[in-house]
Structure 1
């Protein structure tokens, strides 16, 4: 069952302007350490940051909160599975909100799609609730 959908379109030029103007202050306020490390290694760091920015916005929309109700930028981070597929890692207020919207007996799975075509970066987030796997004790 789908419990949340969000999308966002970010302007890479706007993210580049924020990086130029605010530098590490912007990076550290908005992005996790994993995101900063990954983005800073890219030839086009601004595009990488813009995709991650769009993912955070899309995730906040899928959670139904936006950037309020205790959900902060660094509570949501883009991480990659072993396959390379991106997903979101949630902590703090974002994780609490995810737990609130996940029905009892279900486990939330976050699906993330990222793309960019200069000057835009786009992200889609779908939060799906699936039946929880039975525990070994059952």
Structure 2
């Protein structure tokens, strides 16, 4: 069953302006160290890399129905890559607690994430699926 969906469109130039104005203060408030390291490896597309991740955080907050309130913070939502290279989310703190709260008993939540960008836009979509534990599908 689908627990929630969310999408977000983020302006890459707005992220670049925040980086120019606030630098590390903005980065450390909004992104995990893994996300910052990934962006640092992409100097020519650094702002786009971070914009996609910012959009993913927004999309997740919409999918769980809270936005950035009820204990869900930007840094609780980290974009990481699975072994196959596909993007997914690593959740901590309030984001993980909220996901656990909306996941029905006897189910496990699976987060699906897609990211793309085409300057000046970055887009992310999140779908949260609840899979029954111990049942053949």
Name the structure 1 match of 2:90.
Answer: 89
Counterpart in the other structure of 1:57: 58
> Which residue in 2 is equivalent to 1:40?
40
Structure 1 unaligned blocks of 5 or more: none
After the TM superposition, which residues 108-119 of structure 1 pair with which residues of structure 2 at under 5 Å, given as runs? 108-119=109-120
In the alignment, structure 1 residue 128 sits paired with structure 2 residue 137: no
SS at match of 1:82: coil
* TM-score, scaled to structure 2: 0.96
Moved over 6 A (4+): none
Structure-1 separation of matches of 2:134 and 2:14: 43
Deviations 1:45-96 (A, max 9, x none): 0000000000000000001100000000100000000000000111000000
Q: TM-score, normalised by structure 1?
A: 0.95
Aligned residues: 134
1:133 Cα deviation after fit? 3.9
**Is 1:22 aligned to 2:15, yes or no?**
no
For structure 2, the residue ranges without an aligned partner over 5 or more in a row are none
Q: Provide the alpha-carbon RMSD of the alignment.
A: 0.8
